[in-house]
Amino acid sequence: MEGGGEKFKKAQRAMKDRSALAYLNDASIITRLKDLKYYQKTMKNDPWIRIIAPEITPPTLRDNTADVDRLIRGIKKCLHIDEVVIDFSLLKRLPHALRQYDYRINAILHKVQTGWRLIDILSSQNDSCIYGLAVDLGSSTVVIQLVDLKSQKTIDKKSFHNPQIEIGTDILTRIHFAAKRGGLDKLQSLLMERLNENIDQLAKMHNIRTDSIVGISVAGNTTMAHFFLGMDPYWLCREPYIPVINKPEHIKSSDLGLAINPEAPVLVFPNVGSYFGGDLIAGILASGITHQDKVSFLVDVGTNAEVVIGNCDWLMGCAGAAGPALEGGVADMGMMAGPGVIDKVVIDPVSSEFKIRTIENDPTVGICGSGLIDLIAQLFLAGMIDLRGKYVAGKCNGRLVEVEGVKHLVVVTPANSGTGQALTLSQTDIDGIIRSKAAMYTILTTITNTVNISMNDINKFYIAGTFGSYIDPQSAITIGMMPDLPLETYIPLGNTSLKGAGMALVSAQAKDEIYRIRDNITYLELNVNQEFMNLFSAAKFIPHTDSALFPSAKTGGS
Amino acid sequence: MEGGGEKFKKAQRAMKDRSALAYLNDASIITRLKDLKYYQKTMKNDPWIRIIAPEITPPTLRDNTADVDRLIRGIKKCLHIDEVVIDFSLLKRLPHALRQYDYRINAILHKVQTGWRLIDILSSQNDSCIYGLAVDLGSSTVVIQLVDLKSQKTIDKKSFHNPQIEIGTDILTRIHFAAKRGGLDKLQSLLMERLNENIDQLAKMHNIRTDSIVGISVAGNTTMAHFFLGMDPYWLCREPYIPVINKPEHIKSSDLGLAINPEAPVLVFPNVGSYFGGDLIAGILASGITHQDKVSFLVDVGTNAEVVIGNCDWLMGCAGAAGPALEGGVADMGMMAGPGVIDKVVIDPVSSEFKIRTIENDPTVGICGSGLIDLIAQLFLAGMIDLRGKYVAGKCNGRLVEVEGVKHLVVVTPANSGTGQALTLSQTDIDGIIRSKAAMYTILTTITNTVNISMNDINKFYIAGTFGSYIDPQSAITIGMMPDLPLETYIPLGNTSLKGAGMALVSAQAKDEIYRIRDNITYLELNVNQEFMNLFSAAKFIPHTDSALFPSAKTGGS
């Protein structure tokens, strides 16, 4: 650890919880948000998957109603409803189960359009615990969360790398692979097998039968949702960028080969389009912006920059993958978060010493996105790069080296590195970051211009995603990536994809809301926006050509 | 042919059309009934399976709605509906098909609770013919009827023996077989394989793809429906006689392995109980009694005697299998209809000569139920049997022989027989028929007494079933099997099971009505009726101990 003072070490210990796997524990982040109280309250009493104990009298000569119809009658009476749907796959098993349990049963059901659909029946003598899974279906990392559907409490979480990475780290490679013979099946089965393994491990660890997992809620980007469903992603990346489906419905776990209760409903978050997926719908749900009068931003700085603006009356969204400057993406700048990865940099204004924090305080092996933003901001403030992001050789204290004609700044020397190699930041890297930050700011400006709202009217700036959670808003403002708003405006939400999936798993109101969000959002197609390229050019300076936009920004040391 | 005069021969030629397979052509019987005009009219414009040509615009950057949602939008607009359901099994295939057909498609849908469910899409360039199957699922004979769902016209019919006969001719043997390991699967697959063979043959014969058969409507007794669905019939024949299901719903052809369009809905007629099946619900539908102010009877004299009484306001039904006297059943008295089987007998009152008609005028091989009723009536009128149905030796003109102490009447001599053996009717046979006819009349009396209606208030006496179609009402009245009503009261309806299945296949109104019929019928449980045995004893005379009940009946020749 270079230049670690006592104060910094204390902060670093406090931050240790926010280590590589800390993003799994984002509940603490979410629950401290006042805006989300709405959900906390309503979710408690509004489940769409329920276990009930209907009263079913055994048959007699005077009441010869058939077994299935007898069960349906009991459920209707118990729930005060008009329709109970039972799939054929479940029907045949029912009479034996009813008699085996002597007509004393618990019934597990979930709400459908006009009534409730039966998932399973259990003996009323048995443990009546039922569980659900919320899934954040990331293209890099998949997180599964086991939820007790009765108490609505999270029991455990588990994350694993998306096994499709072996086909390709980027999603486009996978889409091309899917077009090959058997490719799509391979991608789907890789995912399902790993998912099932992890579900099984989670179930075993908590001593529950996978059959008692009776619902699953899955949020992911549109391509991942297509892979999950085994649907052809071919047209997702080809103009005019059309998904197979926007609102996947009527799916049960056995349709997909999920190793949970075969009749369990599978809620796959709807998408708005190829580049605006269910993960972002989950983010909007989790952020609560649709329940606020004032206008907020929700930004997910992942592989793409996805931006939503709106309030309880309207919503507009766009996704950065449609913006040419974001090709290659922010995430290409460094490594994914993990032990030894730099996530915070401070350059001492006096000594020009680099104070570097790595995750879990391990020897430095790389730098993640939030670390890069810090680094660029600090380099600018120290005058080591200029307004255009170019290295100022005289300010770099001999840290600059030239490799194949490109300037590189040595951030960590081989002696201090965990890899034995120097960690360097090239001019090309910086140029990439500048393009990305310019794209982000341009998207934010384009969307506010489109809806005719001033940046100063933004009440909250929610930052979704693991990567986003670690961004220091001050650094992001310094480089002109995010608007110059009071720091308290910025609220990191952590893994909103998982949080949204969890909310929709336990609350009918939340589940209904994701479809309302989807149907009401206006998608701003950046590809066809003429203003974008002009704004983009102006945003390629640090912080911006128009310094009036960043009144609080410190100037660089140049 | 014994005693065939010119006149009889002429009648016999005219009757030739009503030969062994003539019952397949019962449309002529049905359509001449004024009561059924109601259906003829409403069915035309009320299909629940439809093919439509929704307008679907190809996707653009400005309209990036997903393929599936685009299709759903087009269908909703075309049908002016709010919900379109697409099963997951169909979803994956849709985007390829839509693009292959260049978004110019026909969509096949069927009505469900809250909207319409997609069955398939076709290129609008293709032939847009869609077909359905109506099935009479008899325990002896299965009849399938191919219907053009657009014109609602019957294209062809085909009948075959129920292949489950190889397990057992009677249904109880099959129920017991189903309890053996793999027994139920065997019974179901026997039926499905034979059904699929015949469907395939029918389709090939008319040069249609089985995929264009997009709906199937099946009426059968409760046990046959259970076999068809692969549901355990174990409890059907055990007190308190409980079916697995009364109203099978949400079933598609691929659930059952039917070789038609995999998404085709399967309408299985509901039942009222173990002994009151969908075949009778179909009969009630086909009879139209629920659309008449005046009270009618509907009687199906098959293996069991099933009786329904009612009008547009109320319905009551009972099934004879619940009556102890009907054990063994009417159908055990002779052979099933077929070439060479006697279906009409007249004994010349002067010469005592037997005038016998056989089906297709073939050499005599046996006698069917309607022939037996004629024969008993004629024997009684000729004085050859007395009031109790006992042979009067002096009147039998030497036709009586004694075999193992039991009197047998030689109906056809070996010389005139197609088998080389004499066809005889034993005293035991007659006793059985007397018990059966007494049971039938007792059921009719019990049910009229229960609802407090006089026999004379019966407006129409509909006779359902193949066997019933050939019964001569005059003979049935003569032996006291049916009440002494004007002959025009009796109306044979032929195969109402098939007819009802066909009506429900093409008309949403008819389909809805079968559930109304089911829900509104009061089932009279004869097992628990004390009056039955007293009435039964009185009805064991020819025609009855109370001759006032049969004012028009001729007395026997004794």
pLDDT value at residue A465: 80
**Quick one: closest CA in A to B275, which residue?**
A64
Mean pLDDT of the residues in chain A: 86
Q: And the tokens for A253?
A: 């776990």
**Quick one: closest CA in A to B254, which residue?**
A88
Enumerate the residues of chain B whose CB falls inside 8 A of the CB of residue A247. 69
pLDDT tens digits for range A330-359: 333 356 677 888 888 999 988 889 999 988
pLDDT value at residue B529: 61
**Which of A86, A242, A251 lies nearest to residue B67, judging by beta carbons?**
A242
- DSSP of B388-425: TS-B-GGGSTT-EEEETTEEEEEEE-GGGBSSSS-EEE
pLDDT tens digits for range A424-478: 999 988 988 898 888 889 889 989 998 999 999 999 999 988 777 788 999 999 9
Range picked from A552-556, B338-342, B478-482 for highest mean pLDDT = B478-482
Q: What angle do CA A287, A288, A291 make, to 5 degrees?
A: 160
At A250 the three-state DSSP class reads coil
Task: Give the single-character DSSP code of B280.
Answer: H
**What integer is the mean pLDDT of B35-63?**
77
Closest by CA to A471, choosing from A555, A376, A361, is: A376
Q: Which helix (H) or strand (E) holds B437?
A: helix B427-451
Q: And the tokens for B329?
A: 């059943």
C-beta atoms of B68 and A244 within 8 A = yes
**Quick one: closest CA in A to B252, which residue?**
A88
**What integer is the mean pLDDT of B57-70?**
92
C-beta atoms of B94 and A528 within 8 A = no
Burial of B49 (0-12, 13-18, 19+ CB in 10 A): buried
**Quick one: closest CA in B to A82, which residue?**
B113
pLDDT tens digits for range A102-156: 999 999 999 998 899 999 999 998 888 999 999 999 998 999 999 999 999 999 9
Enumerate the residues of chain A whose CB falls inside 8 A of the CB of residue B255. 88-89
pLDDT value at residue A469: 78
Within 13 Å and on the Cβ side, how many CA atoms surround A369? 26
**CA-to-CA separations, A425 to A163, A383, A413, A440, A475, in angstroms, rounded:** 30, 15, 12, 21, 17
CA B26 to chain centre: 11
pLDDT tens digits for range B256-271: 999 999 999 999 999 9
pLDDT value at residue B555: 58
CA distance A360 to A362: 5
Enumerate the residues of chain B whose CB falls inside 8 A of the CB of residue A69. 245-247
Confidence of residue A302 (pLDDT cuts 50, 70, 90): low
pTM of the model: 0.86
pLDDT tens digits for range B428-463: 889 888 988 888 898 899 899 989 999 999 999 999
pLDDT tens digits for range B409-419: 999 999 988 88
pLDDT value at residue B62: 84
pLDDT tens digits for range A165-203: 999 988 999 999 999 999 999 999 999 999 999 999 999
Confidence of residue A498 (pLDDT cuts 50, 70, 90): very high
Whether the pLDDT of residue A38 is over 80: the answer is no
- A387 against B465, higher pLDDT: A387
**Quick one: closest CA in B to A61, which residue?**
B240
pLDDT value at residue A502: 97
**Which of B83, B87, B252 lies nearest to residue A113, judging by beta carbons?**
B83
CA distance A175 to A222: 12
**Which of B65, B229, B246 lies nearest to residue A69, judging by beta carbons?**
B246
**What integer is the mean pLDDT of A80-84?**
94
Enumerate the residues of chain A whose CB falls inside 8 A of the CB of residue B515. none
Mutate to test the interface with B, among A234, A242, A247, A258 (most CBs of B within 10 A): A242
Q: What is the ipTM of this complex?
A: 0.85
Enumerate the residues of chain B whose CB falls inside 8 A of the CB of residue A100. none
C-beta atoms of A64 and B91 within 8 A = no
Enumerate the residues of chain A whose CB falls inside 8 A of the CB of residue B57. none
pLDDT tens digits for range A252-301: 999 999 999 999 999 999 999 998 999 999 999 999 999 999 999 999 87
Mutate to test the interface with B, among A65, A72, A245 (most CBs of B within 10 A): A245
Q: Which helix (H) or strand (E) holds A157?
A: strand A153-161
Mean pLDDT of the residues in chain B: 86
C-beta atoms of B92 and A252 within 8 A = no
C-beta atoms of B246 and A89 within 8 A = no
Confidence of residue A239 (pLDDT cuts 50, 70, 90): confident
Whether the pLDDT of residue B25 is over 50: the answer is no
Enumerate the residues of chain B whose CB falls inside 8 A of the CB of residue A252. 88
C-beta atoms of A240 and B64 within 8 A = yes
CA A257 to chain centre: 24
Shortest Cα distance from B270 to chain A (angstroms)?
11
**Quick one: closest CA in A to B528, which residue?**
A61
**Which of A67, A243, A255 lies nearest to residue B66, judging by beta carbons?**
A243
pLDDT value at residue B26: 33
Task: List own/partner pairs for A305-311 with CB under 8 A and 24 or more apart.
Answer: A305/A330, A305/A436, A305/A439, A305/A440, A305/A443, A306/A275, A306/A276, A306/A280, A307/A443, A307/A444, A307/A447, A308/A280, A308/A283, A308/A284, A308/A521, A309/A447, A309/A448, A309/A451, A309/A453, A309/A458, A310/A521
C-alpha torsion sign, points A41, A42, A48, A54:
positive
- DSSP of B451-484: HT--GGG--EEEEESHHHHH--HHHHHHTTSS--
